[in-house]
Amino acid sequence: METIIKRQSGYEPPYDSQLEAELAHSLPKYIENAAKFFKQYEVETPRGTFKIDFLVDSPKGKFGFECDGKDYHDYYRDMFRDALILCSSDITSIHRIAGKDVYSRLEDGLFAISKVEPDVFSKRGRENLWTLSTSRSDLE
């Protein structure tokens, strides 16, 4: 069952992990105003139902965001799962952010994603991420 997070606050606990809480606190500030923000978005696939930590449903597409804590994720299993989700749904892409990056350099990660997927983020959000990014020259 998907839960819509209110755009006004963007933060609607509880979350499954502190990583998710951190991302849910920051990401809505930067996304396109017309986008809807979901937590624990369920996707049916031929191999079962999977949940995406967050889904941004914008007029330009659906974009998944995953928080990857080291202890709970396996690269090959996650890639298989993502491939199933992408082939079985209208989700455009899934972006994974490592736990250490959520805590220490989230704006850098979101800025990099905004360069690849500008339609997810508002113009102001992209400008703010550029300003907050610590490695702007490396990501441009």
What is residue 125's DSSP assignment?
A: H
pLDDT tens digits, 26-38: 999 999 999 999 9
pLDDT tens digits, 74-112: 889 999 999 999 999 999 999 999 999 999 999 999 999
How many residues are present in the chain? 140
The H or E element containing residue 22 is helix 18-26
Q: What pLDDT is recorded for position 135?
A: 61
Cα separation of the two ends of the chain: 38
The H or E element containing residue 102 is helix 99-104
pLDDT tens digits, 20-65: 999 999 999 999 999 999 999 999 999 999 999 999 999 999 999 9
